[in-house]
Amino acid sequence: MIALSVWMLERGRSGLVQQAMTIGTTPATLYQLPGQAGPLVVVAHGFAGSRQLMRAYSLTLAQSGYTVLAFDFEGHGRNPVPMSGDVDAIEGTTMRLVDETRRVLEVGRTLPGAGPGVALLGHSMATDIIARAAIADGNVDAVVGISMFSQAVTADQPARLLVISGQYEGILRAAALEMARLVDPAAVEGETVGTDGTTRRAVVAPGVEHVGVLYSGTGLREARDWLDATFGRTSTGPVVQPGLWILLLLAGIVALFRPVARLLPVTDAGPDVPLRRFLAAVLIPALAVPVLAVVVYRPFLPVLVADYLMIHLALFGVLQLAILRVWPLPRVVWVAAGALVVWGLAVFGLAIDRYAASFVPTVERLGIIAALAVGTVPFMLADATVARGGWRRGVARLGFIASLTAAAFMDMERLLFVLIILPVIVLFFLVLGPLGRWVARQSGAGAAGLGLGVILAWALGVSFPLFVAG
């Protein structure tokens, strides 16, 4: 699985020149076919994303002869500069990101092989940014918005706009159709409409949601066809769809750890937790921690809600360990914990970074990862102790997810982004949870909890956008 997936994923890059560059402080990657010139397409990612997440579009368009420039917004991916400004005002954070996009666009226009012609393509958060950047620039030939929402779109601006939505993005599908109906009130999905120099099209990528839409063959072909029609081109390059191969690669890496775990030192797993104590260890923290954490929370890290999450995780874990009467803490088999960390970060993590999303932190994020570990390590130690057995594991983790959700609804003004980051935690449990389970069976809860605690701190530390208010 691993060998086949890597071969297929690398095949999508074959023949392309990929050049890393920095535009001011903004990291970017240029994709081109060697010796060819083509219209410039600037590619922008969504909230908590990175240029790696947009690679299916970047590779598909570059293989078709376009000059593609993908970049990391402030606060995201490898960008060392935090987002800043007022997130609730267009004149605040939004305009800073619009200005950053326009700086990337201006440099892109000067690159060898770029043009004639310019287009902007973005996902989710970026769709509002690129719409505003295109309108402000005045010389952008086409805009492609994926999972789009933007109040900047009018009946005549942007002049040429394609909106791609996933089948299961009901609200965004309605918004896309409304943008088309600004031009023609009778517009329907899948129809190109136009009048007085304005052209719109709203299309649906079948069977996908907010992330899956980035790997949809329908979406990739629609975007390429839209740009081809804009620039009078006919593309014959491959449509690069890495989604399935990324899943197979990661599944193979997870599965391969199982025989590795059997080589680790064997230690006594300890007695099972009595049912009544288990239920108390799940319910009491789930009810008490949201109230306590919201009351004591004061922002102190330059990252959106990471500081709150650290507090919540630490309180939850310590309270669970106290209820379970785990003292001293579970013995750590260091070889086993180290093997888990190396597999999770160096093997699984580097595969993620190369093919799916940014996973290698900048220097600015190392301190954030260390701070998060203050919460993630005790939490995962408690989780490894309490969550033995199939149904118990599910109940314990549902209790934690419920507590985080409750906290977000208790203070939506400050903790809204907790709801946005929840999928990262759920994916962590689903994908990397088995690694910890195999280590716990072989070498005890201490090694599993410490190892998964470090990996979780890392995963959260590279996922949260850096942010400084003001």
Domain end marker among 196, 221, 240: 240
Q: CATH number of the domain that 80 lies in?
A: 3.40.50.1820
Same domain, 43 and 170: yes
Question: How many whole angstroms separate alpha carbon 69 and alpha carbon 90?
Answer: 25
**Residue in the structure block whose two tokens are 């078709």:** 64
Domain end marker among 240, 271, 288: 240
pLDDT given for residue 305 in this prediction: 86
Query: Would residue 204 count as lying in a domain?
Result: yes
Per-residue pLDDT tens over the stretch 175-200: 999 999 999 999 999 999 999 889 99
Same domain, 48 and 176: yes
Query: Would residue 393 count as lying in a domain?
Result: yes
Q: Where on the phi/psi map is residue 335: left (φ > 0), alpha (ψ -120 to 50), or beta? A: alpha
Same domain, 211 and 324: no
Same domain, 138 and 214: yes
Same domain, 326 and 224: no
Query: Would residue 282 count as lying in a domain?
Result: yes
**Tokens representing residue 320 in the block:** 């669970």
Question: How many whole angstroms separate alpha carbon 234 and alpha carbon 224?
Answer: 9
pLDDT given for residue 389 in this prediction: 67
Question: How many whole angstroms separate alpha carbon 46 and alpha carbon 214?
Answer: 11
**Residue 409 CB contacts under 8 Å (≥ 6 apart), including other chains:** none
Same domain, 410 and 442: yes
Same domain, 44 and 124: yes
SS3 260: helix
First-to-final CA distance of the chain? 48
Same domain, 202 and 81: yes
Backbone phi, then psi, for 329, in 5-degree steps?
A: -65, 155
Question: How many whole angstroms separate alpha carbon 18 and alpha carbon 3?
Answer: 22
pLDDT given for residue 420 in this prediction: 84
Query: Would residue 1 count as lying in a domain?
Result: no
Model's pTM, two decimal places? 0.93
Domain end marker among 207, 240, 273: 240
Domain extent at residue 109: 7-240
Same domain, 265 and 235: no
Query: Would residue 2 count as lying in a domain?
Result: no
pLDDT given for residue 326 in this prediction: 73
Number of domains forming the structure of the chain: 2
Per-residue pLDDT tens over the stretch 407-460: 999 999 889 889 888 888 999 999 999 999 999 999 998 999 999 999 999 999
Same domain, 252 and 397: yes
Query: Would residue 165 count as lying in a domain?
Result: yes
Same domain, 24 and 161: yes
Q: What tens-digit pLDDT sequence spans the chain (470 residues)?
A: 999 999 999 999 999 999 999 999 999 999 999 988 999 999 999 999 999 999 999 999 999 999 999 999 999 999 999 998 887 778 889 999 999 999 999 999 999 999 799 999 999 999 999 999 999 999 999 999 999 999 999 999 999 999 999 999 999 999 999 999 999 999 999 999 999 889 999 999 999 999 999 999 999 999 999 999 999 999 989 999 999 999 999 999 999 999 999 999 998 766 778 889 999 999 999 999 999 999 999 988 888 888 999 999 999 999 999 998 876 666 789 999 999 999 999 999 999 999 999 999 999 899 999 999 999 999 999 998 887 767 888 899 999 999 999 999 999 988 988 988 888 899 999 999 999 999 999 999 899 999 999 999 999 999 889 998 76
3-state secondary structure 110-178: CCCCEEEEEEEEEECHHHHHHHHHHHHHCCCCEEEEECCCCCCCCCCCCCEEEEEEECCCHHHHHHHHH
Same domain, 224 and 291: no
Question: How many whole angstroms separate alpha carbon 457 and alpha carbon 434?
Answer: 17
